[in-house]
Amino acid sequence: MLQEAAITATPDVLPAASPKSQKAPSQLERWVGLQATTASRHAAALRPFTRDEFGTHPWSPSDGHLEAVNGLTADLRRQAAKLAQQVAQASAEAQQNPNPRSLGRLLAAKGAMTAAVRRTEDLWNFYLELFGQRQSPFGPMLLACDRIALDCYQWVYTGLGRAKPIPAPGPFCFMETGFGPLTYRRFVPIPKLGRRPNPFPLIQLPHHRLANPWTLGAVLHESAHNLQSDLGLWLAVPLAIARRLLRAGLPPTIAKVWARWHAETWADLVAVLLGGPEIVASLMDVTAQIPSRTQRFDARGVHPTPYLRILINLELLRRMGFQNRAAELRQAWTGLYNAPPPGWIPKAVLETFPQASALVVDTIVFQPSRQLGGKSLIQAFRFEARDQTMIEEAARRLAASRDPGIVPAIFLIGAARHAADRRWASPDVITRNFYRALVRR
């Protein structure tokens, strides 16, 4: 349970008890006097989070996460304390001379104080809810996802051509209702924080994904979004895509479409580079909907049309050396869907897709960049046949309730998927052993 907030209040400024011969304070006088006490207690209640108040388990928020949030709220808390002093001063003046002018100043100071408290509490409550989840039964599951997300960073940063410190704090996962996962990138202002910059990557995961770990390719995808941002590639990637397509003679309208898709395409491809073929199968869980949803083009969408999205990832899988697996997945995908009806996807997008898809995959994955220290993504890190062998062995061990051994955290999603696909054990057994293997690290 959370520790009780320490409230440091100034003494009430109500007049001392009056002798019976003196006139008792009016209701207005009592109200005016109480405002200073209330304001000071409001300010004191906006305290920083303290170490261990969310527990001392491995899945509790780290000191780094707590410090980052306390730093984010520090100036708001100082502002609230300053405004509380102004309320106290206005209250004292109004008690001495309760005229319309002094009462107006009190109301104005009280209004400014209330607004500051509300802004601070909105931000404070956002993280209170996130951190509080680590005291629930979902804490170990979220820790497992944290470790997978951090593993993504370690794999990428250790393979760069130029040494870069891994940004801190690391990604922090939380559970939310809704169908799809999402992420809030580091230092990007978000509405839930009053447009203030989020101090560390947040990865939102629906409960049903946590309950089915073979669908958690989303953790790799959302981590990749944060990697693109932290590596300074958020603006460089769409520019490189547009230039490559235009140099190849493709129409500007097509280059614009693919540049708009840059972030989701990057995240998909990096997830496959980290997790291998099983991540494409996990992505199919998300994109396989009724044809009218999967095969319709969205002129303003930032995601590639879902029907095409899988084919983009299969292009990478083929170039990574997994031709047979790519062919199997393609056969499964085309078994679910016929060609899209005329008009659902613009003719120009369909006709240029094979060439554009190959060029975009090559640009993102196989071309060197300054931000990667002169390396390409495929040179910095790549999933190989030996990694797939490791995943399959880990899948057998998970199904048999055995320690999966020294296997990277990012590979355990594929291992759970491989075991579930082949029904080597019940879903409950696979899920329990997946989380046990990650939490006990």
Cα distance between residue 420 and residue 244, in whole Å = 40
Q: In whole angstroms, what is the distance from residue 63 CA to residue 60 CA?
A: 9
Q: Are strands 182-184 and 202-206 parallel, antiparallel or unpaired?
A: antiparallel
The answer to whether the beta carbons of residues 431 and 213 sit under 8 Å apart is yes
> Are residues 273 and 365 part of one domain?
yes
Among residues 204, 231, 258, the one where a domain terminates is 231
117 shares its domain with 172? no
Q: Is the pLDDT of residue 10 over 50?
A: no
Cα–Cα distance measured from residue 269 to residue 275, given in angstroms and rounded to the nearest whole number: 10
Type of residue at 289? Q
Positive or negative, the CA dihedral 316, 306, 271, 441 is: negative
411 and 376 belong to one structural domain = no
Q: Is residue 313 part of a domain?
A: yes
Domain that holds residue 424: 386-439
Give per-residue pLDDT as tens, 349-358: 999 999 999 9
Q: What is the mean pLDDT of residues 196-211?
A: 94
Res 185 pLDDT > 70: yes
pTM reported for the whole predicted model: 0.88
Question: Looking at the domain assignment, is residue 292 inside a domain?
Answer: yes
Residue 37 placed within a domain: yes
Confidence of residue 165 (pLDDT cuts 50, 70, 90): confident
Residue 194 binned pLDDT confidence (cut-offs 50, 70, 90): confident
**Rounded alpha-carbon distances, angstroms, from residue 378 to 137, 253, 267, 421:** 38, 29, 14, 28
User: Buried b / exposed e across 8-34, counting CB within 10 Å, b at 16+?
Assistant: eeeeebbeeeeeeeeeebeeebeebbe
| H helix or E strand, kind and range, residue 344 | none
Domain stops at, among 231, 263, 291: 231
404 and 434: one domain?
Answer: yes
Residue 416 within any structural domain of the chain: yes
For residue 180, pLDDT beyond 90: no
Per DSSP (E only), the strands in 97-211 are 172-176, 182-184, 189-190, 196-197, 202-206
Evaluate whether residue 2 is within a structural domain: no
Last residue of a domain, one of 169, 201, 231: 231
Q: What is the pLDDT of residue 12?
A: 46
Choose among 223, 296, 297, 303: nearest CA to 263: 303
The CA distance from 334 to 323, in Å, is 16
Domain count, the chain: 4
Q: CA 147, CA 165: separation in Å to the nearest integer?
A: 18
What 3-state class would DSSP assign to 328?
A: helix
Which candidate, 274, 278, 237, 276, places its Cα nearest to that of 381?
274
**What does the mean pLDDT of the chain come to?**
92
Identify whether 3 is part of a domain: no
Q: What is the pLDDT of residue 22?
A: 64
For 288-386, strand residue ranges (E) read none
Please give the average per-residue pLDDT across 137-147, as a whole number.
Answer: 96
Domain-located, residue 20: no
On whether both 376 and 394 belong to a single domain, the answer is: no
Residue 132: count other Cβ atoms within 10 Å of its Cβ.
18
In the structure, what pLDDT confidence band is assigned to residue 13 with cuts at 50, 70 and 90?
very low
Q: How far apart are the first and last CA of the chain?
A: 26
Q: Are residues 48 and 88 in the same domain?
A: yes
Residue 183 β-bridge partners = 203
pLDDT in tens, 58-110: 999 999 999 999 999 999 899 999 999 999 999 999 999 889 999 999 999 99
pLDDT tens digits, 309-348: 999 999 999 999 999 999 999 999 999 999 999 999 999 9
In this structure, are 185 and 220 located in the same domain? yes
pLDDT, tens digit, 9 for 90 and up, residues 67-79: 999 999 999 899 9
Cα 54 from Cα 358, distance rounded (Å):
48
Regarding whether 363 and 249 lie in a shared domain, the answer is: yes
Model confidence pLDDT, tens digit, residues 15-57 = 444 454 466 778 888 999 899 999 999 888 888 999 889 999 9
Tell whether 208 is covered by a domain.
yes
Q: Are residues 376 and 251 in the same domain?
A: yes
The β-bridge relationship of strands 202-206 and 172-176 is parallel
Instruction: Give the helix/strand (H/E) hosting 236.
Output: helix 236-247
**Cα 316 from Cα 273, distance rounded (Å):** 8
Asked if residue 371 and residue 246 are part of one domain, the reply reads: yes
Query: Percent of the chain, pLDDT > 90?
Result: 81
Residue 11: what pLDDT? 45
Q: Give pLDDT tens digits for 259-314.
A: 999 999 999 999 999 999 999 999 999 999 999 999 999 999 999 999 999 999 99
- Neighbouring C-beta atoms of residue 1, cutoff 10 Å: 8
Q: Tell me if 117 sits within 8 A of 80, measured CB to CB.
A: yes
Residue (of 251, 246, 340) closest to 295 by Cα position: 340
* Sequence-ordered list of residues with C-beta below 8 angstroms from that of 253, at least 6 positions apart, any chain: 348
Are the CB atoms for 105 and 93 separated by under 8 Å? yes
103 lies in the same domain as 130: yes
The pLDDT value recorded for residue 348 is: 97
Same domain, 392 and 284: no
Alpha carbon separation from 311 to 46, 206, 220, 259, 290 (Å, rounded): 51, 26, 19, 17, 17
